[in-house]
Amino acid sequence: MVNFLKVAPSTDPAPNLDDLLLYAKRLNSVADMLHCDVMSANFVGHDTINADVVKQIYARTLLPLDVHLMVNEPLKEVQKYIDAGAQIVTVHYEAFKNKKDLEKCLKKINKAGAMAGIALNPSTEVVDAMPYFAYADLVLLMSVVPGKSGQRFKESTYVKVKKLKQIKDDYGARFKIEVDGGIVPEISKKLKTLGVDIIVSGNYVYASEDRARAINELK
């Protein structure tokens, strides 16, 4: 079966709101979706965009919004991002002290009409989050430490992708596999052969003089 890799450029490299909104608009005809990186200081050490900004992005793009919440207590946050226009809301496994709240959160996202995702930090083993994959439409593997754009891809991610794909196949699971962080064309091509469905690209697309070409190179 041919795996059609989707590319989701990230909002993270944009230096200010005006640039971000223009970037979102210009990606309309070239990207598959837009990855909105929402970070809070209590989770990654600094704040980025919020639901109001996501709503402004939604008003300027036809692309599906893939909102990645790097926040503590995401259960309290998800509804406002769905209301802002998110089609996918991904929350971090590590953000839940009580893992029953993770299940509750994923179900809440689905009930509100969006796709639900689980993100795993590089230090989190795939098997740890396995009990919650049944409630997920997407599993996001971080190939860098969340919080800073421009990091190098962690080679250990390949092993995690293989484990996740094996679990997906063994159980006939429905979730998509997404990878985020430090991805360049030679890496994306390998990820594609391993069964990844979506890659997130920050600086590689944003810094390119020809963003359409950069996205095609990642595919």
Active site residues: 37, 180
**SS3 (DSSP) at 12:** coil
The length of the chain in residues reads 219
State which amino acid sits at residue 142: M
Residue 39: beta bridge partners? 70
State which amino acid sits at residue 133: F
Environment class of 212 (CB within 10 Å of its CB; exposed 0-12, middle 13-18, buried 19+): middle
State which amino acid sits at residue 183: I
Residue 88: beta bridge partners? 66, 115
Two tokens at 79? 């509804």
Two tokens at 184? 């360049």
The C-alpha atoms of residue 207 and residue 63 are separated, in whole angstroms, by: 20
Residue 177: beta bridge partners? 139
Residue 4: beta bridge partners? none
The C-alpha atoms of residue 45 and residue 170 are separated, in whole angstroms, by: 38
| The pairing of beta strand 65-70 with beta strand 138-142 | unpaired
Residue 7: beta bridge partners? 199
